[in-house]
Amino acid sequence: MPLHQIMYISSATGAMTAQQCAGIAAASAVRNRAEDVTGLLLFNSRRFLQVLEGPKEAVERVYARIAKDGRHGALVKLRETAIETREFGAWDMAYDDAARPSDSLKDKVAALLEQAGPSTRAHFVGSAEMHRG
Ligand SMILES: Cc1cc2nc3c(=O)[nH]c(=O)nc-3n(C[C@H](O)[C@H](O)[C@H](O)COP(=O)(O)O)c2cc1C
């Protein structure tokens, strides 16, 4: 099964704390692991950016499930592509206001945002911490 990657952005529909987001990420990590899906979930108190990587069918299934979740909306797929290796080996997440991302995560995020172009960077304009390191 070829490896697949989906990257999307979305907006929280209501107030969401970093703690609630951490809860989503923890539950997601368990479920995703069972499907061999890994990735990254970023949250900057209003918006999400998530990368899902794994077997194509599993990634599409997980994305379809996430897209129906009423806790966020206005999903925009930024990238959907076949990949040869996972860009984000382990599940992780970062906040602009809590648990600081590790340097290596920050580097990967910076690289990803660069690749994604100015509109994605603008999407995360509120989280300078992640951009500037
Ligand atoms: C921003 C965001 C990201 C999410 N990411 C995942 C994820 O990667 N994997 C996952 O299983 N659920 C994720 N969820 C939760 C799912 O949307 C859903 O609530 C969960 O999979 C339970 O689905 P079910 O109620 O259909 O069983 C995410 C939710 C949000 C709001």
User: What pLDDT digit, counting tens, does each position of 84-126 carry?
Assistant: 888 776 655 544 434 455 566 667 677 766 766 666 666 554 4
Domain boundaries, the chain: 3-99
Residue with CA at minimum distance from ligand 1 atom 22: 65
With the most atoms of ligand 1 within 8 angstroms of its CB, the residue from 52, 63, 69 to mutate is 69
CATH class (in words) of the domain with range 3-99: alpha beta
In the prediction, which pLDDT does 16 show?
Answer: 86
Please state, in angstroms and rounded to a whole number, the distance separating the CA atoms of residues 90 and 11: 24
Q: Report CA(86)–ligand 1 centroid distance (Å).
A: 20
φ/ψ (deg, to 5) at 26: -65, -45
In the prediction, which pLDDT does 76 show?
Answer: 92
Ligand 1 neighbours by CB, cut-off 6 Å: 24, 28, 31-32, 41, 48, 50, 62, 65-66, 69, 71-72
Structural contact between residues 32 and 85, judged by C-beta atoms closer than 8 angstroms: no
Nearest to 51 by CA among 100, 102, 126, 116: 116
